[in-house]
Amino acid sequence: MNKKARYSDEELEEFRSIINDKLKVARTEYTALMDQLMNKDGNGVDDTSPTYNKVLDEGNANQSKEEMIQMSQRQQKFIRALEGALLRIENKTYGIDRMTGELIPKERLRIVPHATLSVASKNARKK
């Protein structure tokens, strides 16, 4: 079987399109999270509620804010990973397993376009 060293320019363009679509969605979600964290749509009448409920609400709000911070950090990491994948496309090194140097299967890259390891390499690393 003839093994390819890299994906063709046409294949790389297909992946670029997939990545750009995911990047657009990821950036939109990140912006929405940041807007929520900054409370851009808040109405500012929180201090009119009774004290006991206010304490409970603040506890819930703090937990929710922590979760949103974690989600925004994960989203930011995802965006950086997708941007890294675009850079690898530019360098024509996209889709090459960084452990084995072999091509990562297209099916995996279509699902996880920022992958730098095949499933086998990822599993081998965990052991």
pLDDT digits (tens, 9 = 90+) for 25-70: 999 999 999 998 887 655 555 555 556 666 666 666 677 888 989 9
Rg (CA), the chain: 21
Structure tokens at 15: 């992946």
User: pLDDT digits over 88-126, tens only?
Assistant: 999 999 999 999 999 999 999 999 999 999 999 999 988
Under 8 Å between Cβ of 62 and 81: no
